[in-house]
């Protein structure tokens, strides 16, 4: 069978599986819809958390950016990996013991203020919509290439699938769908990596193959790639060109942003006990590590194969995969010197080939001439990664609106049935907005998602960390900090990513810090403002301080509560 037929078969089977699980596990109560009834086993929750965490940015974007940018792209690997460890060890057990459905719920109750809750809802919506834009772009990329439909059509198909199991199943349906999606995406990521590692180095372990000698050439793969990169005028693959300050700030923003992501945090409310939250965090870290330790190898394989395939080759002799990706607009060739050969060079004035980083993982099996079923498998894996995270984000958006705004503030006497209807309507509206952002994304998948982490770092992380570990932090300090943090991050992002407020290029970045790294600066501003304001305003009530003391004491926890 050809690639397109295999893709229809594998994508069709996986979509049928996801829809079947959603029907089987449909939510019958708000507790099912918000936290899957609070009864998910740790192993299943670990698998679901890993799928929720490993979005299109991890599956497609991260390896793509490492592949194109080399050492500079590794900031995403370091930041996202370290961030999950920070979340699992520092926050998850305490938040689970607090026993609320959502991050705005925690902030509203901890800071005894509906204003704080509203600010947190606004922050959650900003983070989630920015994040989901990257997921929908990933869906569109896969559909446009492998099912040969326009990117916009691909996004709409993805919206319909996500909407079906997110609205029907809520967190219960999403959780068990994500278990299946993790299995699909990790199999899809590892199979081609193992194939190509054997093909290039004879070593079946990609992590080791990356540093092994190329078969028959007597030189290590990384040394070969360094040589190829230098020959084309690029920086050596294993050297970095980013300023050290920007590397540090991006890594820190991704780490603390991870610890403030509402769609990941809510996963720890779905298990029965605090001990289970810790165990599921450990399982998830193991499952995440499988992909994250493989991504640099995939990046090296893809980059080497791409350069060797296109370097000084006549355009008319390029393989079929090249022309198919050209039709998507994600690879562009412009014959500037008229010699009919592809000049792939670092010099922008002479370079004739532009490659979108997001296609590197998807195109990798095709470039390496792997079997058609493997190529189609990667397409199914990319969709699983994007859809799993998109579903989690849509749930955060719908619960923030239905639970934290409507139920908690505007209609406290709203029935459970009414709240469930409100949550589902919110999810429908949210998926339509997400689709718009997927059709009109601001940047590459990983870069778009990095902005969401910056927003989470700037807003949620200080409020959560001080809410757990600083019992004298009051509502005035938390609200002021969140407003200043999210406001400064939004300003910087809009100025340098969207050319608003006078715009500016890379040379105009403050202190050489990119928009992806500015979340760290905004987070520090949040901490400073929060502590300063809380120092000159009344301390929290004694009962709130006692709650903070209680959640830090080891022990069991009650069920998540709507009260």
Distance CA 11, CA 42 (A): 28
Question: In this structure, what CATH number is given to the domain that contains residue 396?
Answer: 1.20.1730.10
Within 13 Å, how many C-alpha atoms sit on residue 323's CB side?
6
Distance CA 52, CA 368 (A): 29
- Whether 511 is covered by a domain: the verdict is yes
User: The domain containing residue 547 runs over which residues?
Assistant: 3-212+223-551
Q: What is the DSSP string of 355-371?
A: E-GGGHHHHHHHHTT--
The sign one gets for the Cα dihedral 449, 450, 454, 460 is positive
Q: Is there a contact between 443 and 152 (Cβ–Cβ < 8 Å)?
A: no
- Whether 557 is covered by a domain: the verdict is no
Distance CA 352, CA 337 (A): 9
- Whether 559 is covered by a domain: the verdict is no
Distance CA 12, CA 16 (A): 6
How far CA 62 is from CA of 80, 129, 314, 376, 519, in Å, comes to 10, 20, 30, 20, 19
Alpha helices in 311-415, H assignment, sequence order = 320-326, 360-367, 372-399
> What pLDDT, on the 0 to 100 scale, is given for residue 171?
67
Distance CA 444, CA 441 (A): 8
Distance CA 105, CA 111 (A): 10
Counted domains in the chain: 1
Q: Is there a contact between 297 and 210 (Cβ–Cβ < 8 Å)?
A: yes
Q: What is the DSSP string of 175-243?
A: HHHHHHHHHHHHHHHHHHHHHHHHHHHS-S-HHHHTTSBPTTT-SBHHHHHHHHHHHTTPPPTTS--S-
- Whether 441 is covered by a domain: the verdict is yes
- Whether 474 is covered by a domain: the verdict is yes
With both helix axes pointing from N to C terminus, report the angle between 114-146 and 445-469 in degrees, rounded to the nearest 10.
150
> What pLDDT, on the 0 to 100 scale, is given for residue 111?
92
- Whether 558 is covered by a domain: the verdict is no
10-residue block means of pLDDT along the chain (563 residues)? Answer: 84 82 67 60 85 75 81 81 78 74 82 89 83 74 74 79 68 77 89 93 92 88 88 79 84 84 75 79 87 90 89 86 82 86 86 84 87 88 78 77 79 78 81 77 60 86 90 93 93 82 76 87 95 94 87 53 41
What torsion do the CA atoms of 498, 499, 500, 503 make, to the nearest 10 degrees? 140
Contacts of 437 (CB under 8 A, 6+ apart): 129, 130, 132, 133, 136
Per-residue tokens: 390? 């998109």
> What pLDDT, on the 0 to 100 scale, is given for residue 559?
45
- Whether 563 is covered by a domain: the verdict is no
- Whether 562 is covered by a domain: the verdict is no
């Amino acid at each position: 069978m050809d690639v397109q037929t295999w893709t229809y078969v594998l994508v069709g089977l996986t979509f049928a599986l996801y829809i079947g699980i959603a029907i089987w596990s449909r939510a019958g109560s708000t507790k099912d819809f918000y936290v899957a009834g609070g009864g998910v086993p740790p192993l299943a929750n670990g698998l679901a958390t890993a799928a929720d965490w490993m979005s299109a940015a991890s599956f497609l974007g991260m390896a793509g950016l490492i592949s194109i940018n080399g050492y500079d792209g590794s900031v995403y690997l370091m930041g996202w990996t370290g961030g999950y460890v920070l979340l699992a060890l520092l926050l998850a057990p305490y938040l689970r013991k607090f026993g609320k459905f959502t991050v705005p719920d925690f902030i509203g109750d901890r800071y005894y203020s509906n204003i704080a809750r509203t600010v947190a809802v606004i922050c959650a919506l900003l983070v989630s919509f920015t994040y989901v834009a990257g997921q929908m772009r990933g869906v569109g990329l896969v559909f446009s290439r492998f099912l040969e439909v326009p990117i916009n059509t691909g996004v709409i198909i993805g919206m319909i699938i996500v909407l079906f199991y997110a609205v029907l199943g809520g967190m219960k349906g999403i959780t068990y769908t994500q278990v299946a999606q993790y299995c699909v995406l990790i199999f899809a990521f590892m199979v081609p990596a193992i194939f190509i590692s054997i093909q290039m180095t004879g070593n079946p372990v990609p992590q080791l193959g990356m540093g092994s000698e190329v078969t028959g050439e007597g030189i290590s793969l990384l040394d070969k790639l360094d040589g190829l990169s230098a020959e084309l005028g690029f920086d050596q693959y294993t050297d970095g060109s980013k300023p050290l300050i920007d590397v540090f700030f991006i890594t820190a923003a991704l780490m603390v942003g991870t610890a403030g992501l509402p769609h990941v945090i809510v996963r720890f409310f779905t298990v029965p006990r605090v001990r289970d939250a810790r165990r599921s965090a450990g399982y998830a870290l193991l499952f995440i590590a499988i992909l994250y330790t493989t991504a640099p190898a995939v990046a090296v394989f893809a980059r080497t194969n791409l350069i060797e395939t296109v370097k000084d080759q006549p355009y008319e002799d390029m393989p079929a995969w090249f022309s198919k990706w050209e039709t998507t607009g994600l690879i562009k060739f412009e014959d500037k010197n008229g010699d009919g050969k592809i000049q792939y060079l670092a010099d922008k004035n002479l370079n004739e080939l532009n490659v979108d980083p997001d296609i590197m993982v998807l195109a990798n099996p095709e470039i390496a001439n792997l079997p058609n079923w493997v190529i189609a498998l990667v397409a199914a894996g990319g969709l699983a990664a994007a859809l799993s995270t998109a579903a989690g984000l849509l749930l955060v958006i719908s619960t923030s609106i239905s639970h934290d705004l409507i139920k908690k503030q505007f209609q406290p006497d709203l029935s459970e049935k009414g709240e469930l209807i409100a949550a589902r309507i919110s999810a429908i509206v949210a998926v339509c907005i997400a689709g718009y952002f997927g059709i009109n994304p601001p940047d590459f998948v990983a870069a778009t998602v990095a902005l969401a982490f910056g927003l989470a770092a700037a807003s949620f992380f200080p409020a959560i960390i001080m809410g757990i570990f600083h019992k004298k932090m009051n509502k005035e300090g938390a609200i002021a900090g969140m407003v200043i943090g999210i406001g400064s991050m939004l300003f910087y992002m809009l100025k340098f990513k969207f050319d608003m407020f006078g715009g500016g290029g890379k040379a105009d970045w403050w202190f050489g810090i990119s928009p992806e790294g500015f979340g760290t600066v905004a987070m520090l501003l949040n901490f400073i403002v929060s502590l300063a304001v809380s120092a000159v305003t009344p301390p929290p009530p004694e009962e709130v301080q006692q709650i903070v003391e209680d959640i830090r004491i080891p022990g069991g926890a009650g069920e998540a509560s709507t009260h």
